[in-house]
Each structure stands twice: as structure tokens, then as C-alpha cells.
Amino acid sequence: MNSKKFATQVIHSGDQAVQQTNPIFPPITTASTFVQPNIGEFGDFNYSRCDNPTRSAYESALAELEGGVYATATASGMAATALALELFPADSHAIVMSSVYGGTHRLFETLRSRTSGMSFSYVDLNDLAAVEACIQPNTQFIWIETPTNPLLELVDIEAVCQLAKQRELVSIVDNTFSTAWNQQPLALGADIVMLSTSKYIGGHSDLIGGALIAADKALAQQLDRCKTTVGAIASPFDSYLALRGLKTLDIRMERQSSNALKVAQWLEQQPTIEQVYYPGLETHPQHALCLKQMRTGGAVVSVRLKGDEEAVKQFVGKLQYFMLAESLGGVESMINHAATMSHAGVPEAEREKMGIYYQTLRLSVGIEDADDLIADLEQALNS
């Protein structure tokens, strides 16, 4: 049986067998090192920075779900992003989606450009002519984020990856907001997928983690060598939690995305809302692209409120079910204020150039009843 549906894959993907004791779920193996039979003789595991049974089971599941040949689980999503950069020479140039996540922008601009001489050009990746114009002799990769955080702009993955292959560039896709449940970048031509597994993979707001998944063996070997050298690995406990969370990814994403569409449709009718950002809405300028490469519009809805800063604070302060918190993707609904949270490190002028204002809010829609979530938003907007 080679054609497992996604709902079956999340339960049975990868190599999760533990032959010695035959448990139904891989246990947490906390050992830092493993006994060798003799000099020059090695077992499946030798040192946990290189490989660990719990992490290996989790990584094999991620690789299968994303359609890759290899996955490495890291200590955080930012650790995964930083690890991906280790693949490239110090003076490399990269082309990056213009509205990239604030943490990624911070890593690129305040750290890597200063410490390793890397340079980055930010452009709307849907403008292929602009992408072509940015390519330099030392350009090594294109960093794609789709949907973007927090304005949910989409990138045509297939088109950009095709261009990257023509110019012999590596294409890396941040698939955090979608996961393999909603879109599969490797099947659309991407070379590497990056995930912040703290979000939908774990799904319960109880772990920090990241992952990189490679499409081919050559990249897999390079990533594995970098991972072992740098040691940017997920702990056995976080790997265990993430694999446990992964089991319910299908049913969680289905409920959360369904709720998000209902919330977005309701918000679109409210006079106190300046703009709703949700690719699942027919009014979204990239709705056709959403239908082309995504299963649904996802589980995140962003809005721009009317009113001043005080109006924004009053609205957020009245919410009962949408909790003000960093991150997203948990079973509980959360609200994020981009200007002071996810994009706090981006200068105000640059934020507003991206279209992110003080009035911009990102809603991570949970698995609660959609009517209750809408009622919560209604009382906060109108009371």
C-alpha cells in the first residue's frame, strides 16, 4: 500500500518502530551517547548530537509528510533558518520575499550580513522580472515565505522554483503557516522546506522547534553534515512532543481552517474593520493562486482595524477567547500585534512599507466553536 492519504500518513508516516520493546509510540530516549560493540564497530546510534532514536522517528515522519528524502529537527524555527544558511559560502547573496517574517529579516540583516558578509535583496517574488534583475554572480538561493506573516501574501511556488532551477539557485520555502497538510512545496519544485514546528506541527503551544526537509540526497548529505557540526538539534523531549502533536495535524488543520474561513467572512462585513487578509476569501487578490497550490486558505486571518492606537488596545483588551500571545498554530485561538510582537525588530518606516501598521492584527484561529469565536470578536468590536 503505497498511496496513503494524508490523514493516514500523519499516524503512520516514517520509521517509528522500536523493535526491542515494541511500543505503539516511540518513547523518549534521553541518552546522550550509545555503547559501541568494539573499536570500529557502530550501531544505529552513537551520539545524540548526530542521531537520537526519538528524534530520528520524528524526522522520518516529517520527511515523508513533506515528500522529502531527509529531515533534520532543530531547536527552533530560527535555528532551522540559521542552519539552512550554513549550506552557502560566507559572501553569498540571496533573494528574499519582500514581506518576510520579522525574525528572518532580523537574522539576515543584523547578524548574517554583519558576521559572514552575506547580502540579501528583498523583492516581491511574484514579479519574476524583478527576481531575474536581482540575480548576481554570487546569488546562491531564493528564500520563499508563503503565506507571509502577517499579511498572508502568497508566492507562486512552482513559478519561482522553476526560475531558481533555470539559474541553478537553491529554493527554500518557509512552509510554517501551511505545513504539508495545506501545500507541498517540494512537489512544486522546491529544494528545501523550512518549518517552525512550534506552530501547527506541535499544535499545543508546549514546545519550541524547527525543521528542514530536503528534496534530494545531495542536499540531504550537506544538511546532515552541517547539522552534526553545528549541533542545532531538537531535544528528545521536544521531538517526542512534536511527533505526538503531529498525529492530530490533519483533524486540527481541517477544523482550524474551516473556522478561519467563517471568521474571515464575518470580519469582512464589519464596518470597524479596514481590511481583512485571508487567501481563502474570493476578495483576496491572490485567491486564484490559493486555489492552485493550497488545500484551503489556512488557519490564520489578519486584519487592519479602523481607529487609533487606543481603539486597538481596547479591542484586544476585551477579547476573551483570542489570547494576546506570541506564536500561532495552537489549538487555542491567539491574537498577535505585529508592530510590537512579530515585527517589533523591523523599523516602523520599513514595517509600513510592508503594509504592517499599528492597527494590524493577526488572528491564529483555534479549534473552538466558530460561533463562539465570532461572538467574542463581535463583543470586543462593538461593546
pLDDT of amino acid 88: 97
Nearest alpha carbon to residue 97 among 154, 14, 46: 154
Q: Is residue 161 part of a domain?
A: yes
The answer to whether residue 191 is catalytic is no
The 3-class SS string of the chain reads CCCCCHHHHHHHCCCCCCCCCCCCCCCCCCCCECCCCECCECCCCCECCCCCHHHHHHHHHHHHHHCCCEEEEECCHHHHHHHHHCCCCCCCEEEEECCCCHHHHHHHHHHHHHHCCCEEEEECCCCHHHHHHHCCCCEEEEEEECCCCCCCCCCCHHHHHHHHHHCCCEEEEECCCCHHHHCCHHHHCCCEEEEECCCCCCCCCCCCCEEEEECCHHHHHHHHHHHHHHCCCCCHHHHHHHHHHHCCHHHHHHHHHHHHHHHHHHHCCCCCEEEEECCCCCCCCCHHHHHHHCCCCCCEEEEEECCCHHHHHHHHHHCCCCEECCCCCCCCCEEEECCCCCCCCCCHHHHHHHCCCCCEEEEECCCCCHHHHHHHHHHHHHC
Using a pLDDT cut of 90, give the percent of the chain over it.
83
Cα–Cα distance between 290 and 187 in angstroms, integer? 16
- Considering the domain architecture, whether residues 233 and 255 belong to the same structural domain is answered as no
- Considering the domain architecture, whether residues 20 and 94 belong to the same structural domain is answered as yes
Nearest alpha carbon to residue 303 among 268, 327, 275, 269: 275
Cα–Cα distance between 91 and 140 in angstroms, integer? 10
Q: Is residue 361 part of a domain?
A: yes
**73 or 2: whose pLDDT is higher?**
73
- Considering the domain architecture, whether residues 163 and 265 belong to the same structural domain is answered as no
pLDDT of amino acid 1: 43
Q: How many domains does the chain have?
A: 2
The answer to whether residue 49 is catalytic is yes
- Considering the domain architecture, whether residues 255 and 289 belong to the same structural domain is answered as yes
pTM: 0.95
pLDDT tens across 247-256, in order? 999 999 999 9
- Considering the domain architecture, whether residues 158 and 260 belong to the same structural domain is answered as no
- Considering the domain architecture, whether residues 122 and 233 belong to the same structural domain is answered as yes
The answer to whether residue 244 is catalytic is no
- Considering the domain architecture, whether residues 255 and 183 belong to the same structural domain is answered as no
Predicted confidence band at 349 (pLDDT cuts at 50, 70, 90)? confident
Catalytic residue among 58, 122, 156, 174: 174
Catalytic residue among 101, 200, 278, 321: 101
The sign of the dihedral angle between the CA atoms of 359, 360, 366, 372 is positive
**CATH classification at residue 50:** 3.40.640.10
Predicted confidence band at 129 (pLDDT cuts at 50, 70, 90)? very high
Catalytic residue among 55, 112, 199, 351: 199
Cα–Cα distance between 343 and 333 in angstroms, integer? 20
Could you tell me which residues are beta bridge partners of residue 96? 122, 143
The answer to whether residue 357 is catalytic is no
pLDDT of residue 168 exceeding 70:
yes
pLDDT of amino acid 102: 85
- Mean pLDDT in residue range 214-241: 97
Q: Is residue 336 part of a domain?
A: yes
- Considering the domain architecture, whether residues 174 and 221 belong to the same structural domain is answered as yes
Residues of the domain holding 91? 6-246
Q: Is residue 360 part of a domain?
A: yes
- Considering the domain architecture, whether residues 302 and 207 belong to the same structural domain is answered as no
Q: Is residue 1 part of a domain?
A: no
- Considering the domain architecture, whether residues 167 and 316 belong to the same structural domain is answered as no
**CATH classification at residue 279:** 3.90.1150.10
- Considering the domain architecture, whether residues 271 and 241 belong to the same structural domain is answered as no
Cα–Cα distance between 252 and 250 in angstroms, integer? 6
Q: Is residue 359 part of a domain?
A: yes
pLDDT of amino acid 151: 95
Of the candidates 227, 246, 265, which is a domain's last residue? 246
Of the candidates 246, 277, 298, which is a domain's last residue? 246
pLDDT tens across 20-31, in order? 677 888 889 999
pLDDT of amino acid 19: 60
Of the candidates 187, 221, 246, which is a domain's last residue? 246
- Considering the domain architecture, whether residues 265 and 378 belong to the same structural domain is answered as yes
pLDDT of amino acid 72: 98
